[in-house]
Structures are given as structure tokens and as C-alpha cells.
A and B are shown apart, each in its own frame.
Chain A
Amino acid sequence: MINDQVKLLVEKYSLTRCARCNFCESVCPTYAATRRRIHGPRGRIWLIIYLSQGIDVNSDEYDGLLSCLNCRACNQVCPAGIEIAEAIHDAKALLVRNALK
């Protein structure tokens, strides 16, 4: 069921427009701190897309999504105009709701 809800998010924010250009990683504070893709906007976006396809997420990847600061720097530089911070916030809320069930 969570996959269906995540699918809606992927559509709502047109996440598949991500061209993996990495502009977002250049301004992401958590990516700068760890240099791990899962701590950057690109990794988080694709994690949401994988979730929508029913692919399992491990705890490390799950933590990566939850550790987004929602600072919105990524939104400012995304050439595809994806509202990345909003998509990650909504995905976080879904995952948290699911985890607390």
C-alpha cells in the first residue's frame, strides 16, 4: 500500500524528470558532510522512485531519507524544476506514518 502512495508522490512531483545531473548534490549540506549519495537529493529522489516500484529499502537508505534537512537549496539549482525538498518531506511523512503503524 505504501508503494501506491509513493507512486502518487512520484507523479505529483514528476520525480522521473531527474536527469541525474548532480547540481543538487553541489549545494546539499548533508551530502557535503558525508559524500554519500543517499545523503544527497539525487539519491533521495531515486530512493523514492525505487520505493514506488516496490523495491525494498534498507535501514541505511531509510536513515538517508530521514536525514534530509529540508533546507530547499536543491530546489533552487534543479534545472528540471523539481520541488525536491517538498517531495522528500512528503515521502518522510509517509514512511514515518508507515513505521508507526
Chain B
Amino acid sequence: MEDWLRGLRSIMLSSLNYNRLPIPVERGVCSEWARGMGIPESGDAVIYTSCLYQLVPYINSFTGLMEKAPPSALGPLVNRLSHLVASFARVALKPPRSEVDRVNGIVRAIATLLIRNGVKFAYMPDEPYSGALLYELGFEDDFKEYFSSVVLSYFRSRGIKNVITIDPHTHHILTVVAPRFFGDLGLRVVNYMELIKGVDKAKVSRVVIHDSCLYSRYLGMRNAYRVLLEKAGVEHVEDPYVTGVSTSMCCGGPVESINPSLSNKVARLRIDALSKLSNNVVVACPICYANLSRNSGGRVKVLDLAEVLTGAQ
């Protein structure tokens, strides 16, 4: 495992140096969603996607490769040849176009909800990744170095003061983790759900919510998406154990780069539990979306909250 950790860290750091993304893909994948939407590139408030949704198809491809050669076997090789592995990954990670279109559609749906609610915002075609994965895997020194030299200096150099986050990992980093290390960041951070006041009636009528652990147990936001679903006329089936605040289980995503087989097993157990309540599972986090949809086995339909609220699904 130590070899794998070294290799993983090396791949992530070289990728962050190369394109400010945690896995080696081309930067263009981050801003494709905004094409044709007429969103300006500068303004008082910016949407900060951290490229997390857009990376989901590439994370799925990466995890698929890892399952064929698990970290325990691959570790020493990756550790010695991390630069070659990063270059290889840049070529090899070619997810199906349909998956890329789906995640771009989710980010577009979030932007559409904001526009419909009269929120004025700009987007950042060259936005850097937040560094959440470094922190969550325990690479804290690397996280602090990366966040201060890249993310914080990016926001400060552009005079950005108002940030709209669209996923729980980035929101947690900006509102809890980074302030703990760096004090006041000088940013006003809001999540897109806090800005959505009105929504149209949704196409689906009954769903079960898979709570993001961060939204639910770290950020105290588990009611935000419940209220929005209710406004859209969607019944969310609740169960004291399966969807309870203390007992609802994680999707397994946080360990997909450390122990993919365990991560998948956790996701399948979660799908088993959720499928007993509804065939439509609503998520509000790109990592939950990635891990649950990859392991759903066609038993449930995994939908992002924004897709439901815009009527895209």
C-alpha cells in the first residue's frame, strides 16, 4: 500500500502541476458544459465547479483500470513509473461520449437553475481543482501547499469575492477545511442549492434520496435538497435506517482510489438498501453519482438533483 500511496500521490501532483486537475486529462473537459450558454467569463460572483462533475467519466475509467490491476499489485510499478503512468493515462482514459455528455448536462442543469432564479454569475474556464482529494486521502501537507499556492492565489489574483459551489467536497474545503488552515479566505461561499427559490414541477414523482455524507453530517444541509424536491412535487421516500441522518450509509466513493473492490462492495450494498424504497435514486454529489451509477447494475436509475429539478430526467 505504501508504494501505491507514493505512486498515487506522484500521479496526482504531476497532474495538478500539469493541468491543475487531480487526474491526467485535458483541461478542455472542465469548460465544455458552458458552450453556447452565454455565461460571461468575469463578474461579481463565479460558479466554481472544481471540475468534479466533469471528471466523473474519467474517474470511472480510472477505477475500471484499477480494478483490473489493484493497488496492492500495481503499487511498486506505479511508484517507479508514475510519470509514464500519467502520460499513459492521458491517452488511455477515453470514457464513452454518452457519459461525458451526461455530466456536462448536470452542470448545465445547475447553471440553468441559477439563471432561472435570476442569479447573475460568471464561469472560470481555467478554474483549478480544489484539492479535496489530497486532503481526504490524508496528503495534508500537499493539500496546504497546493491550496495556498494555486487555489487561493487564483481567487486572490482575480479579485474574486463571491463563489457559488455545486458539490459538497468543494463546499466543505472552502467553508471548513481551508479556513481551519488559512483563516478567513476573504471569500463569500454559497452553495447553489441555497440560491434556488423556485423550481418547476418535476417529471419523476417518487424517489429515494442518497444523502452525501458531507452535506448530511458535515455541512448540515440535508434538508436543502429535500425542500427543493418537495417544491418540485417529488415525494421522497424516507426510512429511519436507510435514509436516517445517523444511519444512512456512504456510497463508498472516498476509497475508490485506495481500495476499489471495497469501494464497489459498499456501493452495491447501498444500492441494495436504496432499491427497496424506490427505483429512482437522487444524489447531489458527483462522487456519489459516480460510485452508485457505476455499481447500480441496472437495478435503479441514479439521477442528480439538478437533473430532476430541471426536468431533464
Given contacts A96-B5, A97-B141, contact A67 B249 (CB under 8 A): no
Q: Which residues of A contact B252 (CB under 8 A)?
A: 29, 33, 69
Q: Which residues of A contact B270 (CB under 8 A)?
A: 29
Contact A99–B141 (Cβ < 8 Å): no
Q: Which residues of A contact B25 (CB under 8 A)?
A: none
CB distance from B57 to the nearest CB of A (A): 22
Q: Which residues of A contact B231 (CB under 8 A)?
A: none
Contact A89–B138 (Cβ < 8 Å): yes
- Asked if B265 is at the interface of the complex by the 8 Å CB criterion, the answer is yes
Contact B249–A71 (Cβ < 8 Å): yes
Complexed CA–CA distance, A58 and B218 (Å)? 31
- Asked if B303 is at the interface of the complex by the 8 Å CB criterion, the answer is no
Contact A93–B247 (Cβ < 8 Å): no
Given contacts A32-B269, A67-B262, contact A73 B250 (CB under 8 A): yes
- Asked if B2 is at the interface of the complex by the 8 Å CB criterion, the answer is yes
- Asked if B206 is at the interface of the complex by the 8 Å CB criterion, the answer is no
Contact A99–B258 (Cβ < 8 Å): no
Q: Which residues of A contact B185 (CB under 8 A)?
A: none
Given contacts A29-B250, A72-B217, A76-B217, contact A67 B255 (CB under 8 A): yes
Q: Which residues of B contact A77 (CB under 8 A)?
A: 246-247
Q: Who on chain A is nearest to B254 by CB?
A: A69
Contact B136–A70 (Cβ < 8 Å): yes
- Asked if B191 is at the interface of the complex by the 8 Å CB criterion, the answer is no
Contact A27–B247 (Cβ < 8 Å): yes
Q: Which residues of B contact A100 (CB under 8 A)?
A: 5-6, 9
Contact A34–B137 (Cβ < 8 Å): no
- Asked if B235 is at the interface of the complex by the 8 Å CB criterion, the answer is no
Contact A29–B140 (Cβ < 8 Å): no
- Asked if A62 is at the interface of the complex by the 8 Å CB criterion, the answer is yes
Contact A73–B249 (Cβ < 8 Å): yes
- Asked if A18 is at the interface of the complex by the 8 Å CB criterion, the answer is no
Contact A92–B1 (Cβ < 8 Å): no
User: Count the A residues whose beta carbon is within 8 Å of the partner chain — how many?
Assistant: 29
Chain A binding site: helix, strand, loop or mixed by DSSP? helix
CB distance from A54 to the nearest CB of B (A): 20
Q: Which residues of A contact B140 (CB under 8 A)?
A: 93, 96-97
Interface residues in B238-262 by Cβ distance below 8 A to A read 245-250, 252-255, 258-259, 262
Contact B248–A73 (Cβ < 8 Å): yes
Q: Who on chain B is nearest to A92 by CB?
A: B138
Q: Which residues of B contact A62 (CB under 8 A)?
A: 1
Contact B269–A71 (Cβ < 8 Å): no
- Asked if B18 is at the interface of the complex by the 8 Å CB criterion, the answer is no
Complexed CA–CA distance, A29 and B247 (Å)? 10
Given contacts A30-B262, A34-B265, A76-B246, contact A71 B217 (CB under 8 A): yes
Q: Which residues of A contact B182 (CB under 8 A)?
A: none
- Asked if B139 is at the interface of the complex by the 8 Å CB criterion, the answer is yes
Q: Which residues of A contact B266 (CB under 8 A)?
A: 29-30, 32-33, 69
CB distance from B89 to the nearest CB of A (A): 21
CB distance from B182 to the nearest CB of A (A): 17
CB distance from B226 to the nearest CB of A (A): 18
CB distance from B234 to the nearest CB of A (A): 25
CB distance from A33 to the nearest CB of B (A): 4
Given contacts A27-B247, A33-B265, contact A59 B1 (CB under 8 A): yes
CB distance from B119 to the nearest CB of A (A): 30
| 26 CB-based A-B contacts, threshold 8 Å | A27-B246, A29-B249, A32-B266, A39-B262, A66-B5, A66-B258, A66-B259, A67-B262, A69-B252, A69-B253, A70-B136, A71-B213, A71-B217, A71-B250, A72-B213, A73-B213, A73-B217, A76-B247, A77-B247, A89-B138, A93-B139, A93-B140, A96-B137, A96-B138, A97-B140, A99-B2
